[in-house]
Amino acid sequence: MENIKLNNGVKIPQLGLGVFQIEDDKVLKQAVLAAIKAGYRHFDTATLYRNEQALGEALAESGIARDDLFVTSKVWNTVTTYDGTKQAFADSLKKLNMDHLGLYLIHWPKEGYLEKWRALEDLYSQGLVRAIGVSNFEKKDLDTLLAHARVKPAVDQVETHPYYQRPELHALLKDLGIAYESWSPLGRAKNGALQDPLLQKIGQKHNKTVAQVIIRWHLQKGEIVIPKSTHEQRIFENSNVFDFALSADEMKQIEILDKNESMN
């Protein structure tokens, strides 16, 4: 799996497995073990997803050394203080049964996020997390955060798929040196992108599925991407994207599909 370097030099596997809405422990463990078998080493969870404990158990069962795994978690919106954030992080670490995390994010720019960021900075200085970042932050939120921050966020994790491409946010994050991470990269399989005729045509040309074309498109745009699946065959399919490349012309054609249409 390819890595990319974050702004503090830490390497993150560019493709990871998202585990939102996998709340059955058995299903989650099967998915995680299938992902490990397919070569995934990066997993994206959150307190909100209520599966950190099962994820920790599955990763321990996988036998992969902890230092070779990259786990992201996120502090939820109901936590609004410095102390609450430190406690939420400690709870996540305990559930995951780890001594540090790869990445810890503020899930949304809601109440108290500057205080929450101060807590993340301290967790980072203590070496408890390799990188810290934000999620669902728009320009105005980043401007406010950066005016107060001691540590620049390494990542902004935001909704992105072919019908919601966000070129302005891309340009902004590039200028700021903050990595762009896409959530719901497949449009959650419900916004029609997986049935898009142009993407089907491009897929046929490369002998790849539409999901593979979409994931490849995210990767070629330099994004970190975390598709979710509970099916072993799809988990493998979604990772089998490093043996082909979309041409500059195909990338341009996909750009035209943008409808600026969020699912949120």
Ligand X SMILES: O=C1CO[C@H](CO)[C@@H](O)[C@@H]1O
Ligand Y SMILES: NC(=O)C1=CN([C@@H]2O[C@H](COP(=O)(O)OP(=O)(O)OC[C@H]3O[C@@H](n4cnc5c(N)ncnc54)[C@H](OP(=O)(O)O)[C@@H]3O)[C@@H](O)[C@H]2O)C=CC1
- Per 3-state DSSP, the chain is made up of helix, strand and coil in percentages (nearest 5) of 45, 15, 35
**Residue 211: both structure tokens together:** 């999901």
Nearest distance in Å: CB 157, ligand Y: 5
User: Which C-beta is closer to ligand Y: that of 86 or that of 209?
Assistant: 209
User: How deeply is 148 buried, as exposed, middle or buried, from its count of CB atoms within 10 A (0-12, 13-18, 19+)?
Assistant: exposed
Q: Residue 260 interacts with ligand X (CB under 6 A)?
A: no
Given 10, 20, 91, 144, the residue binding ligand X (CB under 6 A): 20
Binding to ligand Y (CB under 6 A) within 130-169 occurs at 135-136, 157
- Considering CB distances under 5 to 8 angstroms, the limit depending on partner class, which of ligand Y, ligand X, none binds residue 229? ligand Y
80 SS3 class: coil
Q: Pick from 195, 189, 139: which is nearest to 169 by CA?
A: 139
Nearest distance in Å: CB 118, ligand Y: 21
Given 187, 216, 217, 223, the residue binding ligand Y (CB under 6 A): 187
Binding to ligand X (CB under 6 A) within 187-206 occurs at none
Q: Residue 185 interacts with ligand Y (CB under 6 A)?
A: yes
- Structure letter (DSSP) for residue 136: S
Given 98, 103, 228, 254, the residue binding ligand Y (CB under 6 A): 228
The long-range contacts involving 143-151, CB below 8 angstroms and separated by at least 24 positions, are: 144/114, 145/109, 145/113, 145/114, 145/117, 146/176, 148/114, 148/117, 149/117, 149/121, 150/121, 151/120, 151/121, 151/124, 151/125
Q: Which stretch binds ligand Y (CB under 6 A): 15-23, 57-65, 139-147, 249-257?
A: 15-23
Cα(228)–Cα(259) distance, integer angstroms: 23
Cα(264)–Cα(255) distance, integer angstroms: 21
Q: How many CA atoms lie within 13 A of 89 on its CB side?
A: 30
The catalytic site residues sit at 49
Nearest distance in Å: CB 207, ligand X: 32
Nearest distance in Å: CB 48, ligand Y: 8
- Considering CB distances under 5 to 8 angstroms, the limit depending on partner class, which of ligand Y, ligand X, none binds residue 238? ligand Y
Residues at the contact surface with ligand X, assessed by CB under 6 A: 20, 46, 48, 107, 264
Residues at the contact surface with ligand Y, assessed by CB under 6 A: 18-20, 44, 107, 135-136, 157, 183-189, 194, 211, 226-231, 234, 237-238
